Amino acid sequence: MQIELKGRPVTSGSAVGEALVSKKPISFLGGVNPETGEIIERGHDINGHLLKGVILCFPHGHGSTVGSYVLYSLVKRGVGPKAIVNEVADPVVVVGAVIAGIPMVDRIDICRIRTGDIIEVDGDRGTVKILKRAGTCT
């Protein structure tokens, strides 16, 4: 059974992939290795995880506006996320998603998504479909 979550479209496009869910905000400047796409922020709940090819689900971004460029450069290097799902769209993340062409949806209760779920993000309709369930929430 598919679950469809309705949010707000932020940037257009769609993607299907494995969810990587964080309960904590993410700073792309300083919290993510810009060369590898690895979460490097100490104490972060997804520290050590790679962003390459995942659908990144997290409450919101924080930090410097340079984070927008870091997100863009991750995608250009081939180590960025396929899509982004937020509870609240932060301007830094939105600008990064726009310039990188990453589909993005916000106003989604990310606690309903689990790391490892296969999900579909539709940035035009503002929906997130859980296509296949994984284990427990991260």
Nearest one of 72, 46, 42 to 59, comparing CA atoms = 46
Dist CA 32 CA 34 (whole Å): 6
Catalytic residue at 68?
no
Nearest one of 78, 76, 94 to 86, comparing CA atoms = 94
Catalytic-labelled residue, pool 22, 64, 68, 73: 64
Dist CA 18 CA 32 (whole Å): 19
List residues with catalytic annotation.
64
